[in-house]
């Protein structure tokens, strides 16, 4: 038993001496270099550290820039002025001319109501509604139509910029080519951008003005890409090429959503127009039968209630068939 204890003690003593020798005797050659590099970690090589640090710093700059752009976009989400809405609709008229046209539309509505022998109160209310509602509806319709035309050609405009940059032209010349070659309204918006840059406006400010005149998601994406590239650097042609692909995919998604919701929209249009069509047919076939709705006070109240409920129903159906993308 005593011999076994002495032997085990000797083994432990030899293992301890080996550990001490391994820890204090410095290795040499490749093993030493590898161990020092492993102990030093990423701080051992300045060249190896510079690239990750540069990329990390660039990422931080892009993130801070995106936060600033988000704050600017949130600050812009206010109701535009009448002058701005006229500009977004593509009309070259003044605010005074718009108000004159609104008053003329109201006067025509009042005259038509009096010719139909309606009460003066009903005529005044109808004229007021037409004067305030109809011109603004026209502005909204023209704005939406203009934005659709712009979106259809915007991806082609970005492709033109990509080809120009890859061929060696500067960004300003690429924008000039788009302003000269693309159809309206893309040509007009890029012409405003180029002309403003000629008088000292920066590219970032010009893109902000373009977004104010054409407030679409596509223009917002374009402004973000151009601003980030200008401040942080990078391959502009590759970034714009990726943006063009995103916009085309977005357009295909819009077409798919439109095709899938076309049946629901047709049903909503039929249901919404059916009461008006039936009332018109009855009025022209047997006017005495429906004339009480226009001549009696109770009939007027019933028409007003029907209009309110029809408006609520149409709003609900529109909400149900409208998809955000």
Length of the chain: 325
pLDDT score of 24 = 45
- Global pTM reads 0.61
Distances (CA, A) of 118 to 7, 284, 308: 123, 18, 20
Q: What local confidence, expressed as pLDDT, does residue 41 receive?
A: 42
pLDDT of residue 38: 42
As averages over each run of 10 residues, the pLDDT of the chain (325 residues) reads 50 51 46 42 44 57 57 61 84 87 87 79 80 87 90 87 86 86 87 86 84 86 82 78 85 82 81 84 84 82 85 82 67
**204/225 Cα distance (integer angstroms):** 11
- Give backbone dihedrals phi and psi of 144, rounded to 5 degrees, phi first: -65, -40
Domains in the chain: boundaries:
146-255, 261-325
pLDDT of res. 325: 57
pLDDT of amino acid 33: 46
Task: Give kind and range of the element (H or E) at residue 96.
Answer: helix 95-115
**146-255, what's its fold?**
Receptor-associated Protein (1.20.81)
Q: Nearest Cα to 276, choosing from 298, 237, 303, 249?
A: 303
The predicted pLDDT at position 224 comes to: 84
C-alpha–C-alpha distance, residues 306 and 298, integer Å: 12
pLDDT recorded at residue 29: 46
CA atoms within a 13 Å half-sphere pointing along the CA-CB vector of 153? 16
């Amino acid at each position: 038993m005593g011999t076994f204890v002495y032997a085990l003690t000797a083994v432990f003593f030899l293992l301890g001496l080996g550990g001490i020798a391994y820890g204090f005797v410095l290795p040499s050659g490749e093993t030493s270099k590898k161990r020092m590099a492993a102990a030093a970690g990423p701080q051992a090589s300045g060249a190896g550290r510079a690239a990750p640090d540069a990329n990390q710093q660039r990422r931080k700059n892009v993130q801070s820039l995106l936060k600033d752009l988000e704050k600017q976009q949130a600050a812009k989400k206010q109701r535009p002025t009448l002058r701005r809405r006229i500009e977004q609709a593509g009309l070259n008229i003044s605010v005074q001319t718009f108000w004159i046209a609104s008053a003329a539309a109201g006067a025509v509505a009042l005259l038509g109501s009096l010719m139909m022998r309606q009460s003066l109160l009903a005529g005044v209310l109808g004229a007021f509604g037409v004067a305030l509602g109809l011109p603004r509806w026209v502005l909204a319709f023209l704005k939406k139509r203009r934005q659709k035309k712009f979106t259809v050609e915007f991806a082609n405009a970005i492709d033109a910029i990509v080809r120009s940059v890859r061929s060696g032209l500067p960004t300003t010349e690429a924008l000039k080519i788009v302003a000269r070659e693309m159809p309206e309204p893309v040509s007009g918006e890029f012409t405003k951008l180029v002309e403003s840059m000629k008088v000292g406006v920066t590219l970032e400010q010009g893109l902000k003005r373009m977004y104010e005149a054409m407030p679409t998601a596509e223009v917002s994406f374009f402004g973000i890409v151009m601003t980030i590239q200008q401040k942080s650097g990078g391959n502009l042609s590759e970034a714009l090429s990726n943006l063009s692909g995103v916009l085309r995919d977005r357009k295909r998604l819009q077409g798919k959503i439109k095709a899938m919701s076309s049946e629901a929209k047709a049903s909503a249009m039929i249901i919404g127009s059916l009461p008006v069509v039936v009332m018109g047919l009855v009025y022209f076939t047997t006017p005495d039968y429906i004339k009480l709705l226009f001549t009696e006070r109770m009939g007027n109240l019933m028409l007003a209630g029907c209009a309110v409920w029809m408006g609520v129903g149409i709003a609900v159906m529109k909400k149900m068939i409208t998809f955000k993308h």
